Amino acid sequence: MLTGRRIVLGVSGGVAAYKAAYLARRLMEAGAKVRCVLTDAATEFVGAQTFAAITGEYPVVGFFDEADVSPHTTLGQWADAMIIAPATAATMAKLASGLSDNVLIGTALAAEAPLVVAPAMHTEMWSKPATQRNIAEIVADGAIVVGPAVGPLAGGDVGQGRMVEPEAIVAAVAAALTRELDGWRVLVTAGGTREAIDPVRYIGNRSSGKMGNAIAVEAASRGADVVLVTSAPPPAMAGVSVISVETAQEMAEATWAQAGDCDVAVMAAAVADFRPKNPEAAKLRRNEGLPAIDLEPTPDVLAGVAAMEPRPFLVGFAAETGSLDGALRKATSKDIDLLVGNDVAKTGSGFATDTNEVTVYTPDGSAETWPLLTKREVASRLWDRIIASYDRG
């Protein structure tokens, strides 16, 4: 998988540093040549000798105590790819701002190679706006962020913040180096549409666009040229071109204009099924009484793509409440290739969450249910499934 590849493994000071030793072993087993760079804090959790014994190379632990006069640039130039695992909140803040006050960040800045970042921290730290801003900046700069996962954390807590397993990080590095979607053109829709009642009010839904954004970012990280049609705040990611829309009609027109030139279309947007037939030109007033709002159907964006000839490999989404029978019916009746269904009433699987629990259907009605995962992990698995199913020719 990684035969002959030169991988720099950066380890920062978190409890999950113990997993980094196993990650180094798995990288070696995959055929990679591995060199490690540790922060001072990392050595409080796992000794440098452990990594030396696994990789056959003593790790770099500082700027000034090495025989090499410039250890960070040497490592950066040597690397085919770099991993930071675990990446603590502090490490990500430094990476986002370019604050190279330790040799790990210095190496990351000196490397012109794919960077895979595996965050690990408590849920409260992960969810803070500052951490999310730093993640967005890291992704915008081109890093591939994997995780964090949901699971047991230090101190007995359970939540999102657990570093993903080493096997997932090895797979992310392999994908970054092979860039298996190079040359693919991908269309993704995201967010919920807004249908005007008057200039102030609208009919809409609770979709945040997070799932669609994760799908777009994952595709771009694998080398695809991505067009994201969205009504939500988009990710700042190299390789993702954004078309902003608001209504179902605007989303339909933008999607249909782009889909014919795409290899794959993933319809993750929550498009309103109905819209006011005659929206008011001025704001409705309470003292004027309760208005009657006549509704009419909106365009079926998914059906429009499915009817194209030729059409892209087509993936639909179905947000249900309770039973997923509606998702199954959609999978078998909509002339699509895959259908991703989820129960938005289920804890952790609803709108605006960072996690999702989905079932993937094929047109013959077969189903595969995935456990509760982060939306980026769902996106990764989905692209693995698309790649395995789509014969690009």
pLDDT digits (tens, 9 = 90+) for 11-65: 999 999 999 999 999 999 988 999 999 999 999 999 999 999 999 999 999 888 7
- Of 301, 388, 275, residue with least CA distance to 338: 388
Please report which confidence band the pLDDT of residue 211 belongs to, taking 50, 70 and 90 as the band edges. Answer: very high
Which of these is catalytic: 205, 278, 287, 356? Answer: 205
Q: Give mean pLDDT, residues 140-144.
A: 86
Name residue 83's beta-bridge partners. 9, 116
205 is catalytic: yes
Is-contact 11 17, C-beta < 8 A?
Answer: yes
Token couple for 138: 């890291």
Average pLDDT, the chain: 90
Cα separation, 319 vs 324, in Å, equals 9
More confident residue, 316 or 376: 316
**pLDDT of the residue at 69:** 80
Cα separation, 335 vs 42, in Å, equals 52
Q: Is the pLDDT of residue 172 over 90?
A: no
**pLDDT of the residue at 360:** 95
Tens digits of per-residue pLDDT, 173-195?
988 887 789 899 999 999 999 99
Token couple for 383: 């692209």
Tens digits of per-residue pLDDT, 269-319?
999 999 999 998 899 898 888 888 899 999 999 999 999 999 999 999 998
Cα separation, 47 vs 381, in Å, equals 34
Torsion sign across C-alpha atoms 340, 328, 332, 309? negative
Residues 6+ apart with CB under 8 A from 348: 150, 355, 356, 357, 372
What amino acid is encoded at 387 in this protein?
I
Share of the chain above pLDDT 70, in %: 98
Query: What is the number of alpha carbons within 13 Å of residue 374 lying toward its C-beta?
Result: 25
pTM of the model: 0.72
**pLDDT of the residue at 2:** 83
Please report which confidence band the pLDDT of residue 326 belongs to, taking 50, 70 and 90 as the band edges. Answer: confident
* Domains of the chain, CATH where assigned: 6-178 (3.40.50.1950), 185-389 (3.40.50.10300)
Q: Is the pLDDT of residue 393 over 70?
A: no
- Cβ-based burial of 65 (10 A; exposed 0-12, middle 13-18, buried ≥19): exposed
Q: Is the pLDDT of residue 154 over 80?
A: no
Cα separation, 43 vs 49, in Å, equals 10
Q: Give mean pLDDT, residues 328-354.
A: 88
Alpha helices of the chain — where are they, by DSSP H? 17-29, 48-55, 71-78, 89-97, 103-110, 123-127, 129-140, 166-178, 210-221, 248-259, 301-306, 325-333, 375-389
Which single residue is written with the structure tokens 């194209």?
Answer: 308
